[in-house]
Amino acid sequence: MTRTGRRPGDSSVTKAEILDAARLTFAEMGYESATLRRIAATAGVDVALIAHYFGNKESLFVAAHDLPINPSDIAGVLDGVSEGEVGEMITRFSLAMLAADDSPAISLMRAASTNSSAAAMLREFIDRTLIDPIAEMLDVADGRERAALVASHLLGVLFARHIVGVRELATASIDELVDAIGPTIQRYLTEPAWSASAN
């Protein structure tokens, strides 16, 4: 029975535990349904400690989604891959890396649906993590439009598979999905221009 006052023993990993609990809880239930009390309970901590460290709920959310995937991850994945395999690689990366249970991507998708500042965060995340590096790699005039189409499909697969639970996608293995979707992504990237694409 922990009582009041500072805990004995080692240093403070507590802050990181709160962030982990926040990521997990936000990813499971979305922004408004994830209560500070529940996050605190998951972290084994009083709710006031969260306020002490992070001020308010929104700041906690931002802090929990700040670091964990750095935008150069995908650039690293793409580096040294032959041009014909890029679609497959991006697809595999998205299905594996972005879809872990406490992944900030899924968490952001959940939160973005009901919270406009989370939507802004997800928008920026998509830009930095997917569209920017892909467009830079492509280095063609309509690169950002192509990358946005890629992102939309990958988002849709994550959404259908992990949030909605569409059976045909939820039960498929990553390899099967990569086989099915990779070539489509590849075409969006390297197929000759399909029409006059505006903006």
* Calpha distance 184→187 (Å, rounded): 5
* Calpha distance 168→156 (Å, rounded): 14
Binding mask 137-156 for a copy of itself (x = CB under 8 A): -------xx-xxx-xxxxxx
Question: Which helix (H) or strand (E) covers residue 5, if one does?
Answer: none
From the list DNA, a copy of itself, none, partner contacted by residue 72 (C-beta under 5 to 8 A by kind):
none
From the list a copy of itself, DNA, none, partner contacted by residue 173 (C-beta under 5 to 8 A by kind):
a copy of itself
Of the listed pieces 14-22, 67-75, 91-99, 188-196, which binds a copy of itself according to CB under 8 A? 188-196
Residue 55: what are its φ and ψ, rounded to 5°?
Answer: 85, -75
- Residue 46: CB minimum distance to a copy of itself, A: 24
The answer to whether residue 58 forms part of the interface with DNA (CB under 7 A) is yes
Question: Which helix (H) or strand (E) covers residue 144, if one does?
Answer: helix 143-158
- Give whichever of 14 and 113 is closer to DNA, judged by the CB atom: 14
- Residue 15: CB minimum distance to DNA, A: 7
Site for a copy of itself in 109-128 (CB under 8 A): 109-115, 119, 122-123, 126-127
Give alpha helix (H) positions in 36-173.
Answer: 36-43, 47-54, 57-64, 72-78, 86-97, 104-112, 116-126, 132-138, 143-158, 167-170
The answer to whether residue 9 forms part of the interface with DNA (CB under 7 A) is yes
